[in-house]
Amino acid sequence: MSTSETPAAGMTTLPGAGTNWKADGRCREVDPDLFFPEVGTGQSSAAKAVCLSCEVRLECLEYALTHGEQGVWGGTTEGQRRAIRRTRRDQPEREPEVEDAKSQRNSVILQLTHAGLSAAEIADRLGCAARTVTRVRTSRRQEAAA
């Protein structure tokens, strides 16, 4: 078991300044067990759905990446976070503002995808290329498969 409680508990035993975002998590509105599905069962989709509309999802994800949390955090499983850490480790550092903007754009792409919009519709709304939308979607599928 990890050294923390649950995403819904909003508390950790790890030293952690900057965790005030946890009070705003949508996970606090549902059963914490939802975020700890049995490994290999593919039952993480309900927790991910809660995370999808959460306004602190990115903060939650970064926290889980930094602290090695178990369960679903920031709309990702442990396997997905391992893939993210591998990708980050293999890529050169980028400017934080650029990374934040890309991360936010990718989040919106995934939210609009979940809402049923086509790649062309999303690209039109965001003012980006449809291939960018397709790349983000493909990347998400690959992370989910990891």
**Is 51 among the annotated ligand-binding positions?**
yes
**Is 27 among the annotated ligand-binding positions?**
yes
**In the structure encoding, which two tokens stand for residue 47, read together?**
């927790």
**Is 60 among the annotated ligand-binding positions?**
yes
**Is 54 among the annotated ligand-binding positions?**
yes
What is the three-class DSSP state of 73? strand
Q: Determine how many CB atoms are found less than 10 A away from the CB of residue 4.
A: 21
CA distance 20 to 91: 29
Burial of 140 (0-12, 13-18, 19+ CB in 10 A): middle
Annotated binding site: 27, 51, 54, 60
Annotated binding site for [4Fe-4S] cluster: 27, 51, 54, 60
